[in-house]
């Protein structure tokens, strides 16, 4: 029996992370850099995004980069810096886990992120399914919604009910954008599933300028939250610099998203 399906579990799942509730009528904002780069960078971003109303701090430490010659993240040290930012700001933290052997390093990370490239890494899914920790599962860039939900099942079927779905764009023939953001996935998943749905307009578009309109479109489509890449100096970001926005731009997205949510829902 599919546990992610609404018909088997009518009410929305609401996931508590510290003081934050994800799902239901809540609209939450996850923000932070693609990669944790150094102490100064992560602290500065964390303080700013908190001031502007974000609820959760993101930051990659183990980066699954397309090229092995690109910056791979600071690994265990990156997680430690993220923990430091959590201590300073009290913001819960999310970071991507790419291998089972790293699990111990993520003990103080509030939400485990499974990236698009690992959406069908079934051994990893089963492993995080055996934990009692929220997991944000990203849609693979060549995966259907059915496959996406079946991957969520791998986590749920092991007993971990705290699964958050994340639409981050899929690969199409269009190459103006990094991926094509499947906004329709939001209302479809909301109808099919009781799990919270977060939209990631940063990876979906790959272009900083498109992050705001696609954020607002996602809120209008009914997402439960946004995950946005924010950097204090986007031009200098060590990964995904073209899609990073500044804390000030995030501020405006949060303000407008809340307005849209209020008008429409």
- 93 beta partners: 57
CB of 216 to Mn ion, least distance (A): 21
CB of 155 to ligand PEP, least distance (A): 16
Give 4 or 205: the residue with its C-beta nearer to ligand PEP: 205
CB 120 within 8 A of CB 147: yes
CB 231 within 8 A of CB 241: yes
- Where are the strands (E) in the chain, listed by range? 15-17, 20-22, 28-32, 56-58, 93-96, 111-114, 135-138, 163-167, 197-199, 225-229
Q: Binding mask 19-38 vs ligand PEP (x if CB under 6 A, - otherwise)?
A: ---------------x----
Give 112 or 150: the residue with its C-beta nearer to Mn ion: 112
* Cα dihedral 126, 129, 133, 134 sign: positive
With CB cut-offs between 5 and 8 Å by kind, which of Mn ion, ligand PEP, none does residue 55 bind?
none
Distance CA 4, CA 74 (A): 34
With CB cut-offs between 5 and 8 Å by kind, which of Mn ion, ligand PEP, none does residue 75 bind?
none
Among 79, 105, 116, 253, binds ligand PEP (CB under 6 A): 116
- Give me the long-range contacts of 65-71 (CB less than 8 A, separation at least 24): 65/239, 70/239, 71/35, 71/238, 71/239
CB of 114 to ligand PEP, least distance (A): 8
Phi, psi of 110 (to 5 degrees): -75, -35
CB of 230 to ligand PEP, least distance (A): 12
Considering the rule CB under 6 A, would residue 203 count as an interface residue with ligand PEP?
yes
Considering the rule CB under 6 A, would residue 168 count as an interface residue with ligand PEP?
yes
Q: Which of 135, 153, 137, 230 is nearest to 185 (CA)?
A: 137
| Helix (H) or strand (E) run with residue 259 in it | helix 247-264
With CB cut-offs between 5 and 8 Å by kind, which of Mn ion, ligand PEP, none does residue 168 bind?
ligand PEP
How far from the centroid of its chain's Cα atoms is residue 221's Cα? 17
CB of 176 to ligand PEP, least distance (A): 18
Q: Binding mask 45-74 vs ligand PEP (x if CB under 6 A, - otherwise)?
A: ---------------x---x----------
Binding site for ligand PEP (CB under 6 A): 34, 60, 64, 96, 115-117, 138, 168, 203
């Amino acid at each position: 029996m599919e546990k992610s399906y609404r018909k088997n579990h009518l009410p929305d799942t609401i996931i508590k992370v510290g003081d934050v509730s994800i799902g239901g009528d809540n609209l939450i904002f996850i923000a932070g850099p693609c990669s944790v780069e150094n102490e100064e960078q992560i602290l500065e971003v964390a303080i700013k995004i908190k001031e502007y109303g974000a609820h959760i701090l993101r930051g990659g430490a183990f980066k699954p980069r397309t090229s092995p010659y690109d910056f791979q993240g600071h690994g265990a040290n990156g997680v430690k810096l993220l923990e430091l930012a959590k201590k300073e700001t009290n913001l819960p933290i999310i970071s991507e886990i790419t291998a089972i052997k790293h699990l111990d390093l993520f003990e103080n990370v509030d939400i485990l992120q499974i990236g698009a490239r690992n959406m069908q890494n079934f051994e990893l899914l089963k492993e995080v399914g055996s934990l009692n920790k929220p997991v944000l599962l990203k849609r693979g860039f060549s995966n259907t919604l059915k496959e996406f939900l079946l991957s969520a099942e791998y986590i749920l079927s092991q007993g971990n009910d705290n699964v958050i779905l994340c639409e981050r764009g899929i690969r199409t023939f269009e190459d103006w954008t990094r991926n094509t953001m499947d906004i329709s996935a939001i209302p479809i998943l909301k109808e099919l599933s009781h799990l919270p749905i977060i939209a990631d307009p940063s990876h979906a578009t790959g272009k900083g300028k498109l992050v705001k309109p696609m954020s607002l479109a996602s809120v209008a489509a009914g997402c439960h939250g946004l995950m946005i890449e924010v950097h204090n100096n986007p031009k200098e970001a060590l990964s995904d610099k073209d899609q990073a926005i500044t804390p000030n731009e995030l501020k405006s997205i949060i303000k407008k998203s809340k307005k849209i949510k209020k008008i429409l829902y």
